[in-house]
Structure formats: C-alpha cells, structure tokens
A and B are shown apart, each in its own frame.
Chain A
Amino acid sequence: SQTIHQWPATLVQPVGSPLSLECTVEGTSNPNLYWYRQAAGRGLQLLFYSVGIGQISSEVPQNLSASRPQDRQFILSSKKLLLSDSGFYLCAWSGTGRATYNEQFFGPGTRLTVL
C-alpha cells in the first residue's frame, strides 16, 4: 500500500531563517505531488504541484520554492522565512491519470510557526 511521510511534524523558526520541509511517498511510482498550506482558521491553498522529476508548477507567487530531486521526494524550501509563512503545510500525492488527479492522499503535515 502507498504511504506518504512528512517531516518534521512541527517546527518553530525565527523570521529570516531558512526552511526545508521534506515529503516522501512509498508504494507508488511517478506520482503527481502537491504542496498545500492551511493557515489557521482558513482553507487549503495549493502552493506547488509536480508531475515529474524536476517539473514544478507554482500556483501563487510567494517566498517559497519547491523541488523534486527524485521521483517520490518533494521538498519545500525558503531562503528567508516571513511571519506570514506560518501555517500547516501538507504534502499530497495522486495518480497521473485525469480521473485520479482529484483523488489526493495527504501526509500528516508539518505545523510551522515563524516567530
């Protein structure tokens, strides 16, 4: 069966510090991968998605970047964190067929607090 891992589970970082969140998927090949953010009391916002190694699409301009160095690894980064980067960061995967793009399977999330 497929599993998705995220780490760390929680993170407290000072403003201006760098960020690296990692997501890995097991049990599937060539998945679509997604990074979402859920700010406190707000809905889900898609940040990045990837359909293959090295292929990243950004949904909103921001202080963050994403990379996919391996088929089942997705990394979210920032060079300098802002207070507004605080939130619950979720990685998800889906199949690559059109009928499966919207069936997404989420990781446990990373709760980031920027102070």
Chain B
Amino acid sequence: DAKTTQPPSMDCAEGRAANLPCNHSTISGNEYVYWYRQIHSQGPQYIIHGLKNNETNEMASLIITEDRKSSTLILPHATLRDTAVYYCIVLTNAGGTSYGKLTFGQGTILTVHP
C-alpha cells in the first residue's frame, strides 16, 4: 500500500472549516484514499473514501487532486466533538492481501477550540 504523510497536529476554531491534508505521492491507480478518525479512548470511526472524484457525505468532504498525489479532508463546521486523531490511509479495493487490513500511521491530531 502507498505511504501517506500527514501533519502531526492542527488546530481549528469551533464553527470554522477544518482542512486536513494528506500526501500520498506513490498512490497507484487502483488505490483508494480512506479517512478514519479516533476520538480519545474510542474505536476508530470511518469517515469517507474516494478514488479520484471529490466525495461528500454527512460527515465531511474529500477533495483529491487531479494527479491523486494528495488529498484534503474537510470538516465544514468543526465542533468540539470533532477533536480526534485523523488517519489518512491508502488501500486497494481490488482484492489481494491488503484489502480489509487497516493500518493506521500516526495521523493528525486535530484540536478544535472554542
């Protein structure tokens, strides 16, 4: 699986948009970008994923650059409850040995402050 690079920490004011970047310059054509988050002492939570088109759901938006080498997770109106570690991972959905096997790196610690 392609390696991802995320900033170790970010701050965001409550009510503002939180934009979390992720670099995945070695991503291959059949690999998707997935985002999870983990609030302290809880299990990880799936947020969103995409291949090459931008995606939006009730939690967030995912913007993937045209060359697919980087992406940004956007939480449009961050709340205090969005304070968590956010993980960007790259996985194939095409079968093989890597799908279904989530491996989190260090992620980005997002702190939303009042």
Real binding pair: yes
**Chain A interface residues toward B at CB < 8 A:** 32, 34, 36, 43-46, 49, 59, 90, 92, 94, 98-99, 101-109, 111
Give Cα A105–Cα B47 distance, bound, in whole angstroms.
Answer: 10
Task: Choose among B34, B46, B94 the residue with the greatest number of A CB atoms under 10 Å from its CB.
Answer: B46
Can you show 6 pairs from A to B with CB atoms below 8 A apart? A43-B106, A44-B103, A98-B95, A99-B93, A105-B46, A106-B45
| Known interface pairs A92-B102, A102-B49; 20 further A-B residue pairs with C-beta atoms within 8 A, sorted by A's residue number | A43-B104, A43-B105, A44-B44, A46-B101, A46-B102, A49-B101, A59-B101, A90-B43, A98-B94, A101-B93, A102-B91, A102-B102, A104-B44, A104-B46, A105-B46, A106-B45, A108-B42, A108-B43, A109-B41, A111-B41
Chain B residue numbers with a CB within 8 Å of A36 are 102
Name the residue of chain B whose CB is nearest to the CB of A6: B43
Q: How far apart are the CA atoms of A106 and B43 in the complex, in Å?
A: 5
Given contacts A92-B43, A98-B94, A109-B43, contact A104 B102 (CB under 8 A): yes
| Majority secondary structure, A binding face | strand
Which residue of chain A lies nearest to B44 when distances are taken between CB atoms in the complex?
A106
Interface residues of B (CB under 8 A from A): 32, 34, 41-46, 49, 91, 93-95, 99-106
Which residue of B32, B44, B104, B106 contacts A102 across the interface (Cβ within 8 Å)? B32
Q: Which residues of A lie under 8 Å from residue B106 when comparing CB positions?
A: 43
Docked-complex contact B104 and A44, CB < 8 angstroms: yes
A residues near B41, Cβ cutoff 8 Å: 109, 111
List B contacts of A105 (CB < 8 A).
46
